[in-house]
Structure 1
Amino acid sequence: MFRNVIVLVLSAAAVVAGVMLYLLWQHQPLPQHALVYPQPRNLADFELIDQDNMPRSRADLMDKWTLAFVGYTYCPDICPLTLAKLAGVHAELAAKVGQPLQIWFVSVDPQRDTPEQLKQYVDYFRQPALIGLTAGHDQLFPFVRQLGLMYAMSSTAEQDYLVDHSASVVLINPLGQVAAMFKPEMAPGEVPLVSGEQLLADFPLVLNQLQRR
């Protein structure tokens, strides 16, 4: 009889512990400046060219985590500041994932951003994980749209034109799927930028949410 009571008590304790763990799991903190897609979105294949004039496709996303950002090398503020932040926090972010973590900077200004220009630009950040890519607009536009980002070319004939583009950073999982988006901090009069500190705080929370899918 006494033995049965002990078994009953232990069983009840296990149930209570399980319920508590479940409740804690359900109420884990959410990322503040990131959107995690309920279902990762598959990317159709694409053809880009990197800074070494080598072709890149969806196959180059497989078995790696990728942070993708669109912009152009003549960008006066968002691009250099965002890439500097990504390059600076890369080691800490890479330590949180099992597979390699690469950074894709996709230039949407192929007229000026040749592979040679891209190489000079990405080399400035001294981050081997940073890869510069571009292509014709026939490839760029659908690829950028698949990422959930946007860009718009200027209609001016001037050579120092600006290009409107998203300031968010997209996370692509090792299956080549768009899994999450890190959004910039928006403040009146300030350049919209993804905060390095917030990225470090949100990244593990995003990974945790993805593991629960």
Structure 2
Amino acid sequence: MTRTQKTVFILVALVAVILGLTVNKVLNGRSEGNPTELIDAGIILLPQSRTVPAVEMTDEQGQPVVMDELKGKWSLLFFGYTFCPDICPTTLAQLRQVKSELPKEAVDRLQVVLVSVDPNRDTPAQLKQYLGYFDKDFRGVTGSLENIQKLANAVSIPFIPADTSKPNYTVDHSGNLALLGPDGKQRGFIRAPFNNQKLVAQLPGLVKRD
């Protein structure tokens, strides 16, 4: 092989490698979601994942749950309460609609968890009944106000505890969701208000990640 032929061979090999890497990057981008498209859908990923505190709660079945052990699925944590007059029913109805439009593979890797910010009224039985109006697979957790605040502050979705001495009190809280990965760590947020169509387009690629 002459020197010229060797040079041509090397150039062809380099071009093949570059094309291969480019195609691989594009394919990976399509499978996991384009960062710009994720942001446009209201999905904000953290530069580094955050550890969730090991606070003890009780789920809608009356079973103990340690919040840093929500593993195996992507979790959407919504901080709300069952007596909420507006944000909570709207948000849960939207999440039910989004879930109904996702492919089964994505649904199997995703769970919605309502974290009560009203432990004074939200018993496990109350959570189970309320969530049943939206989706039987939606989960709910309640616990001490101290633990709920610790969890909310850790995932940067704080709320203002209510004056429970007032009749028919309400609780000020955010409509944003904390996004936890299957490793149990916080990966980001989903901002409110939600765009159902964009979430349906982006969530399947996101939840393919480990």
Q: Which category describes the TM-score, using the shorter chain as reference length? A: 0.7 to 0.9
The one-letter code sitting in structure 1 at the alignment partner of 2:121 is R
Q: 1:59-208 to 2 correspondence within 5 Å?
A: 60-90=69-99, 92=102, 95-96=105-106, 100-128=109-137, 130-155=138-163, 157-184=165-192, 193-204=193-204, 206=206
Residue 73 of structure 1, CA deviation: 0.6
| Distance in 2 between residues matched to 1:148 and 1:52, nearest whole Å | 27
Gaps of 5+ in 1: 185-192
Residue 48 of structure 1, CA deviation: 0.7
Q: Work out the percentage of aligned pairs sharing the same amino acid.
A: 31
| Distance in 1 between residues matched to 2:21 and 2:164, nearest whole Å | 62
Query: SS state of the match for residue 164, structure 1?
Result: coil
The one-letter code sitting in structure 2 at the alignment partner of 1:41 is R
Gaps of 5+ in 2: none
TM-score scaled by length of structure 2:
0.82
Q: Tell me which residue corresponds to 2:54.
A: 45
Query: SS state of the match for residue 106, structure 2?
Result: coil
Query: SS state of the match for residue 118, structure 1?
Result: helix
TM-superposition CA deviations, 1:156-204 (whole Å, max 9, x none): 63221111111111111111100010101xxxxxxxx323223223425
| Distance in 1 between residues matched to 2:21 and 2:112, nearest whole Å | 40
RMSD: 2.8
Cα distance 1:81–1:47, how it changes in 2: closer, same or farther (>3 A)? same
Query: SS state of the match for residue 165, structure 1?
Result: coil
| Distance in 2 between residues matched to 1:51 and 1:207, nearest whole Å | 25
Q: Is the 8 A contact 2:53 2:68 kept in 1?
A: no
Residue 87 of structure 1, CA deviation: 2.0
Q: Is the 8 A contact 1:108 1:140 kept in 2?
A: yes
Cα distance 1:78–1:89, how it changes in 2: closer, same or farther (>3 A)? same
The one-letter code sitting in structure 2 at the alignment partner of 1:161 is Y
Q: Is the 8 A contact 1:93 1:200 kept in 2?
A: no
| Distance in 2 between residues matched to 1:23 and 1:131, nearest whole Å | 36
Cα distance 1:144–1:73, how it changes in 2: closer, same or farther (>3 A)? same
Structure (1 or 2) with the greater helix fraction: 2
